Amino acid sequence: MEIFHLVLIILLSYLAGSIPTSIIVGKLFFNTDIRRHGSGNAGGTNAVRVFGWPAGAAVILVDVAKGACTVLFIARLPTLGAMEAPLLPPDATALIAGVAAVAGHIWTVFASFRGGKGVATAAGMVAALYPPAFAAVVPVFVLAVALSGIVSLGSLAAAVGFPLVLLALNRTGTWEVSPLLFWVAVGIALAIIFTHRSNIRRLLRGEEKRMFGRDRR
């Protein structure tokens, strides 16, 4: 039954992460499919471009909440038997649930497995589970976006910076980082690099669109 409990948490976390926020907002309030506009991605950045800041910001906040609520609530579902112990420690279960939510956001079962790029949901997971690491990596994102005006560059910088920040916190004795957390951070970074592969190609060609600045289009 412990395995069933873990499988249930993973399934519910994936389904929660799979909620296609930008697609729902687009169809309910704008009568459009966001995947047919802008970059074609069903994520928060494209929602800002296509729907404007109020609706786009709401999409981002809900996507962040998906990651946070998954690790804070779904990962803590009690076992079915009062005397049964969970299969894994709470932190490990929360990490697995968070990864399942990020996977759901990227490959949503509700929209032909075409979702967002995983950044907002991963940010919500990290913010809820590890506030010091989140607080340390946010300036990396903000600085990259402020200097370039390109959100994808900030997302990539934050994704790559996250495991490096964990190493720094561990090495300096500021915070003890478990090997599981570090390798999950590496996995998330690789997943976000994968989902941004088209952005990386445009960055290398100097064609990536700016969210801020005079050449936004």
Close Cβ partners of 78 (under 8 Å, ≥ 6 residues apart): none
C-alpha span between 106 and 209 (Å, rounded): 21
> Contact 22/116 with Cβ under 8 angstroms?
yes
Residues 40 and 105 in one domain: yes
Residues 73 and 121 in one domain: yes
Would you state the structure tokens that stand for residue 17, as one six-digit string? 């992460």
Whether residue 117 is found in the same domain as residue 141: no
One domain, residues 60 and 134: no
On the question of pLDDT at 12 being above 90, the answer is: yes
Residue with tokens 């076992």: 79
Residue 15 and residue 96 in one domain: yes
**Domain endpoint, select from 78, 97, 125:** 125
Q: Could you give the CA distance from residue 203 to residue 76 in angstroms, rounded to a whole number?
A: 40
Out of 82, 98, 125, pick the residue that ends a domain: 125
Which residue is listed with tokens 């929360």?
A: 94
Average pLDDT over residues 43-47: 94
Question: Is residue 108 a contact partner of residue 114, using CB atoms and an 8 Å limit?
Answer: yes
99 and 23 in a common domain = yes
Is the domain of 82 the same as that of 19?
yes
Least confident of 83-87, 88-92, 127-131, 213-217: 213-217
Residue span of the structural domain in which 120 resides: 1-125
Nearest-5° Cα angle at 216, 212 to 217: 150
Structural tokens at position 141 = 């994102």
Does the pLDDT of residue 85 top 80, yes or no?
no
Stretch among 35-39, 200-204, 211-215 having the lowest mean pLDDT: 211-215
pLDDT value at residue 80: 59
214 pLDDT above the threshold of 70: no
Between 83 and 106, whose confidence is greater?
A: 106
pTM (2 d.p.) = 0.92
Same domain, 50 and 9: yes
Q: Is the same domain home to 202 and 215?
A: yes
Is the same domain home to 147 and 109?
Answer: no
For the chain, the domain total comes to 2
Q: What is the pLDDT of residues 104-154, one digit of tens each?
A: 999 999 999 999 999 999 999 999 999 988 999 999 999 999 999 999 999
Q: 144, exposed or middle or buried, with CB in 10 Å at 0-12, 13-18, 19+? A: buried
Q: What is the mean pLDDT of the chain?
A: 92
Q: In angstroms, what CA-CA distances link 89 with 123, 126, 131?
A: 22, 17, 19
Q: Which one of 106, 125, 144 terminates a domain? A: 125
pLDDT above 80 (res 81): no
Nearest to 74 by CA among 22, 23, 129: 129
Q: Are 104 and 81 in contact (CB under 8 A)?
A: no
The Cα–Cα gap between 5 and 75 comes to 10
More confident residue, 81 or 208: 208
Is a pLDDT exceeding 70 seen at residue 97? Answer: yes
Q: Given a cut of 50, is residue 157 above it in pLDDT?
A: yes
Does the pLDDT of residue 1 top 80, yes or no? no
What local confidence, expressed as pLDDT, does residue 49 receive?
A: 92
What is the pLDDT, as a whole number, of residue 216? Answer: 44
Identify the helix (H) or strand (E) that includes residue 20: none
For 211, other C-beta atoms within 10 Å of its C-beta total: 18
Same domain, 87 and 172: no
Are 115 and 149 contained in the same domain? no
Q: Does the pLDDT of residue 87 top 80, yes or no? A: no
Q: Look-up: residue for tokens 């928060």?
A: 44
